Homo-oligomer: A and B are copies of this chain.
């Protein structure tokens, strides 16, 4: 259980399989985000049909509503959602800093107010382990301090050090919970590396995290949070020689299609992001040969082609650009749903295509060609503005 087997390497890129209690995940993999135990507008059946191998859900949101005890009583997240494939829960670290009305960071943990009703709550590393143990995801995340994208070195250093101290407490509590429940093979805990855009802090985070325990995987947090894109790639390059090959690497909160391609060629295996659904709900579609496109564009008015002629998703197999454009212009929810569906499948397919390129030993050539088309002369608006 929790074994990660690398089947192919091509430069820094890898193709592998990660064995989890609810199934085997083939990497590189994009994980759709079900913030509140639902990937917005999309059904589980549609997620399965588009090749979703593992779904992410947010501890912060589920803790507040409906509450982790209720989910535990209903058989954990799998039973609650009726989703039989693997699940990953994040630690709520990112949300308590970005979403809650107010938050106070102490060594003990973070005191925050709910964005729903203003009620006060304390997240400590121990508490977050308890909550995630109750939720029952296959992969759970350590509680970290996530500073903003352009954090000063001082703030970055302090967040990195605190994240390491909290990691020790997470590990200890997680071991206790597993021992109490006698379910050592039900969940794996992933540490999160902080360090903002400071390469030396990132390297330090990697080295010291690896000293804390034997891990099953390593996550990179605090990127794609407002720093310039080249900085993110630089950090991945700095980390690459530090991370043991045998561990799956998860780049949190990333990304846009081109981010996936750039990160996979730098050795990343796992991704999650709300961009596909958020863009879909904003009327934006991803098209391989055109980049990011406004689905309401006047030029689609009489266009009877699929949204993306190369795509195999339900939307592209079933509806025309003219009809989708009408739905978006008329404010019909079906339009936002069809775009969300397409964008999700688009990103899952980017990961699948990258995997095939790695297996064929063609990663660099494929990535260059893919990015050339995406960023090419036909490309629409700029990409990756928003995560």
Contact = CB atoms under 8 A, between A and B. Distances in A.
Interface of A: 36-45, 61, 65-66, 70, 73-74, 80-82, 301-302, 304, 314, 318-320, 322-323, 325-327, 329-330, 332-338
A333 B330 contact: no
A82 B38 contact: no
A80 B300 CA distance: 13
Residue from A39, A66, A304, A337 having most chain B Cβ neighbours under 10 A: A66
Given A45-B318, A65-B329, 15 more contacts: A36-B327, A37-B326, A41-B334, A43-B318, A43-B334, A44-B318, A61-B330, A66-B329, A66-B330, A70-B302, A70-B322, A74-B304, A74-B320, A74-B322, A82-B320
B38 A301 contact: no
A327 B38 contact: yes
Nearest to A335: B38
A313 B213 CA distance: 49
Nearest to A81: B323
B333 A40 contact: yes
Nearest to A43: B334
A52 to B, nearest CB: 14
Instruction: Give the residue among A42, A320, A329 with the most B Cβ atoms within 10 A.
Output: A320
28 contacts: A36-B327, A37-B323, A38-B334, A39-B334, A40-B333, A43-B314, A43-B318, A43-B334, A43-B337, A43-B338, A44-B318, A61-B330, A65-B329, A66-B301, A66-B322, A66-B326, A70-B301, A70-B322, A73-B302, A74-B302, A74-B304, A74-B320, A74-B322, A80-B323, A80-B326, A81-B323, A333-B337, A337-B337
A163 to B, nearest CB: 29
Contacts of A66: 301, 322, 325-326, 329-330
A66 B324 CA distance: 11
Given A36-B332, A74-B302, A82 B43 contact: no
A82 B40 contact: no
Contacts of A44: 318
B70 A330 contact: no
A344 to B, nearest CB: 13
A41 B333 contact: yes
A76 to B, nearest CB: 13
B82 A337 contact: no
A139 B323 CA distance: 22
Contacts of A61: 330
